Amino acid sequence: MISLTFVLNGKITTIETPPDRRVIDLLREDFGLTAAKEGCGTGECGACTILVDGESRLSCLMLAAQLEGRSVTTVEGLEEGTNRVGRIQAAFIRHGAVQCGFCTPGMVLAVSDLLDREPKPDRERIREGISGNLCRCTGYQKIVDAVEAVISETRGKGQNT
């Protein structure tokens, strides 16, 4: 067991955990944060995407010890409408980009990482940005529509983020 200290959704957190516990299990089972989902368990579906120090990462391919001193964001830590990830979620709802919902938390965080790096991606770049997140319901069109809406709203408000 190790004593692990990291920032989880903005709060400094310490927990006793085996160092090789997968981060997805740590989040879901120890913290009860079930937004990150285990789809494939091998890094191919993106359903377990979280942000670590603001970058998208796959929590099924990370071990607890790797989080020491890092800052982790899951969609639970975000209140709707109050920040960009909240705006992404709201746009997903408006554009019907959520069907079964399994991919949605990972998808929202992948979009957040994309818009951090590139504020105004075109449709092709949006598709590339979410290429690590599989959705078996929507056919992606509505997801891309939602991301485009976030970009144009942001531009309308004259904000960079």
Residue 27 engages another protein in binding (rule: CB under 8 A): no
* Shortest reach from residue 57's CB to another protein, in Å: 6
Interior/surface letters 87-116, b for 16+ CB within 10 angstroms, e for the rest: bbbbbbeebebbeeebbbbbbbbbbbbbbe
Residue 145 engages another protein in binding (rule: CB under 8 A): no
Applying CB under 8 A, among 16, 20, 81, 82 the residue interacting with another protein is 20
Residue 7 engages another protein in binding (rule: CB under 8 A): no
- Spatial neighbors of 11 by CB under 8 A, at least 6 apart, are none
Beta strands in 20-89 (DSSP E): 49-52, 55-58, 71-73
CA proximity to 104, closest of 47, 148, 147: 47
CB atoms < 10 A from the CB of 152, how many? 12
* Shortest reach from residue 42's CB to another protein, in Å: 5
Exposed/middle/buried for 134, CB within 10 Å: 0-12, 13-18, 19+? middle
Q: Which stretch binds another protein (CB under 8 A): 8-16, 43-51, 92-100, 145-153?
A: 43-51
Residue 5 engages another protein in binding (rule: CB under 8 A): no
Which residue's CB is nearer to another protein, number 57 or number 87? 57
Cα separation, 55 vs 158, whole angstroms: 24
Contact code string over 57-96 relative to another protein, x by CB under 8 A = xx--xxxxxx-x----------------------------
Which residue's CB is nearer to another protein, number 58 or number 151? 58
Residue 15 engages another protein in binding (rule: CB under 8 A): no
Kindly state the tokens that stand for 144.
């891309």
Instruction: List interacting residues with another protein (CB under 8 A).
Output: 19-20, 22, 41-44, 46, 49, 55-58, 61-66, 68, 110, 113-114, 117, 128-129, 131-133
